[in-house]
Amino acid sequence: MFRELLKANFELIMFEFFKFLEEDQRFKLIFETESGSHINLLEISEDLKSEHLSEGGWIERFSEELKKD
C-alpha cells in the first residue's frame, strides 16, 4: 500500500512540475546528446506533463524499479 501511495504522489508531483515548465516560457528542458547537440524536450513533446503516465510512457520504459516487480 505504501508503495502505491508513493508512486501516485510521485506521478502527481512530476505532472505538476512538467505542467509548470510547459506553461512558463522562461524555462526550457534541454537534453544534450552524446554528440553534443541539444534537444528541447518541450518542443518535441505534445503533452510532456502526462507523457510519463501513459502506457508505454518513459517511466514504464526506463524505470529500473518497475523491471524488478
Asked if 42 contacts 29 with a C-beta cutoff of 8 angstroms, the reply is yes
Q: Which residue has the higher pLDDT, 67 or 12?
A: 12
Q: pTM for this one?
A: 0.65
pLDDT-derived band at 67 (thresholds 50, 70, 90) equals: low
Domain chopping of the chain, boundaries? 2-68
Average confidence (pLDDT) over 9-37: 90
> What's the CA gap between 46 and 30, in Å, rounded?
15
Read off the pLDDT band of 38 (50, 70, 90): very high
